[in-house]
Structure 1
Amino acid sequence: MTNWMGVVSRDHVQKGVRLGIAQVNHGKRTPLERIRPGDGMVYYSPRTTYPDGPPLRAFTAIGRIAPGDVWQATDGDFHPWRRAVDWWTDAIDAPVAPLTGDLELTSGPNWGYALRRGLLTLSDADFATIAAAMGVPERVSAYPGG
């Protein structure tokens, strides 16, 4: 299993959690095809709303990719690619600042630049640290291989 982090504004994350889906890079298919059922998924939200909302800089959703394939949705004239996710809805937002010294993700001097890719892999240790900060550490070990 692999753990992933999508970079998405909190308003879009909240919509995805309500719908039980993950969507990254403005609905592109290719990034989602790298993700597999059982993989961990975390969203980091640099802002509250897209595109110019107030800064947030927090982890805003966490869960596991559900069984099934990538599919294309219809949202008006927008046709984004999506994946089903079992979101841990009892998780709380976790600001990144208190975690920067504990995460491999933030260990480099220009770690924020990597966020521009929109989808990154996370180590198992970072996934567990983020889950603990979000109040759901027990969920990580509840999955086979987690």
Structure 2
Amino acid sequence: MERPRRYWIAIASADHVATGKELGIMQVCHGKAAPLKRVLPNGYVIYYSPVASFGTQNRLQCFTAFGIVREGTVYQVEMAPSFKPWRRDVLWLTSRDVAIHPLLSELNFTRNEKSWGYKFRFGLFEIDQHDAEIIADKMLIDN
């Protein structure tokens, strides 16, 4: 039996998202495995970048990547002796960055939310198909 497709928003600075796109991977919540285990193959992942560069206050507030989770499981890599993050492979689609502000009133997860940015603090959360389709319509280029 085929499982229903799920749609996810992951959060990372745009520079970290760019690295993930180059490597064909996603990594969330400072490399934790548990959140990634909820993101199953064939699901959609949309990255939101509150800032352009990690550790800065240079606001971006854009969706910066759109991809499909590849078959396989989460796996761990050693980036440094004290940092061994978990990852999942993703097929990144050709996309453009899209600012969130023009979409706030259209998206179910932000509509009528005064504190719409609060959800992003979790690092990864599920959205509905309606929201994923709105974001895809704005982001995807000839896919």
Give the partner amino acid of 1:133: K
**What CA RMSD, in Å, does the superposition of the two structures yield over aligned residues?**
1.1
Deviations 1:38-82 (A, max 9, x none): 000000000001111410000000011000000001112310000
Q: Which runs of 4+ in 1 moved over 3 A?
A: none
Partners of 2:133 and 2:78 in 1: CA distance: 34
- 1:126 corresponds to which residue? 131
Q: Of residues 48, 53, 58 in structure 2, which corresponds to 1:49?
A: 53
Partners of 1:121 and 1:25 in 2: CA distance: 14
Report percent identity of matched pairs: 38
- Name structure 2 gaps, 5 residues minimum: none
Q: Of residues 25, 29, 34 in structure 2, which corresponds to 1:21?
A: 25
CA contact (8 A) 2:36 2:87 kept: yes
Give the partner amino acid of 1:54: N
- Does the residue aligned with 1:11 lie in a helix, a strand or coil? helix
- Name structure 1 gaps, 5 residues minimum: 140-146
- 2:140 corresponds to which residue? 135
Partners of 1:16 and 1:6 in 2: CA distance: 12
Q: Of residues 81, 85, 88 in structure 2, which corresponds to 1:80?
A: 85
- 2:37 corresponds to which residue? 33
- Does 2:108 align with 1:104? yes
Deviations 1:74-94 (A, max 9, x none): 112310000000000x20000
- Does the residue aligned with 2:21 lie in a helix, a strand or coil? helix
- Does the residue aligned with 1:36 lie in a helix, a strand or coil? coil
Instruction: Give the TM-score taking structure 1 as reference length.
Output: 0.90
Superposition deviation, residue 109 in structure 1: 2.1
Instruction: Give the TM-score taking structure 2 as reference length.
Output: 0.92
Give the partner amino acid of 1:102: E
